[in-house]
Chains A and B, each alone.
Chain A
């Protein structure tokens, strides 16, 4: 799996992401600067990491979404290439229009930095095939604007199309407002585009991959991606 991690000014999770990609895929990811206009040839997976691109000025992800490299990312997605946006990466994907909706200020107004439980809604996508459908995983969140919002028609289309890949849940997998940390509509933590090749996810699976620092529930997402490309080859 040949991956490329985008780097914008103000992004701060790119090295965590690169470390995880290296650890799980066994291949060194390319670090791609925002002002570049092309992705490395043969890129399978583009990853937009978390952080605070451009200091979250204007709106989270708004300025990064208009960076030169994003045209190449749009073309990559249009060719069916995979794109994963985590946290600020999810916000950037919404701002580019590659994913619908928007991530608003957390309902309780506070920045949230803690472990959450996610229910994996389906296992038949490249971004979830490392898990079983219905499986509950524990991964961290660290965001102030993760409250997913979209109009009723968009939410209905996401649900009808099985495009909600991950939801915030209780440890037993039940949907419960008390465990929906940021107030996201329908407890949405991660969504797919219509074609299923772009995933935006607020939590950080890349931070739970090594037993020396805690749980390893995040490995499945990356192991699944590696497995997806191994099968395709």
Chain B
């Protein structure tokens, strides 16, 4: 593929609470689902999804930049885990 200045990749960073961290919002949603009669819901944990467009076509570089973003800002690693996916 020719080098293009406009090349970009789609990526997704998912941030979730570490297990053991109390999630009152997830609990409230869980309660609401149960009261709505949605069957089979055992538990709910709330997280965040960031859809990010990364410049360039270098996958390794994109992953490194997203890791930097997640560590520096998107996740608070005291209480949260993150997962990076470069969709391409």
A-side interface residues toward B, CB under 8 Å? 58-59, 62-63, 66, 94-95, 100-102, 104-109, 147, 149-151
Contact = CB atoms under 8 A, between A and B. Distances in A.
A82 B76 CA distance: 25
Nearest to A107: B24
Interface string B8-51: 00000000000001101100100000000000000000000000
Contact of B73 (A58, A107, A147): A58
B73 A102 contact: no
A76 B28 CA distance: 41
Given A58-B74, A62-B73, A66-B72, A109 B79 contact: no
Interface string B68-84: 00001110101100000
Contacts of A107: 22, 24
Contacts of B24: 104-109, 147
B62 to A, nearest CB: 21
B73 A66 contact: yes
Contacts of B22: 104, 107, 149
A59 B25 contact: no
24 contacts: A58-B73, A58-B74, A62-B73, A66-B72, A66-B73, A95-B76, A100-B78, A101-B78, A102-B76, A102-B78, A102-B79, A104-B21, A104-B24, A104-B79, A105-B24, A105-B25, A107-B22, A107-B24, A108-B24, A109-B28, A147-B24, A149-B21, A149-B22, A150-B78
A148 B28 CA distance: 19
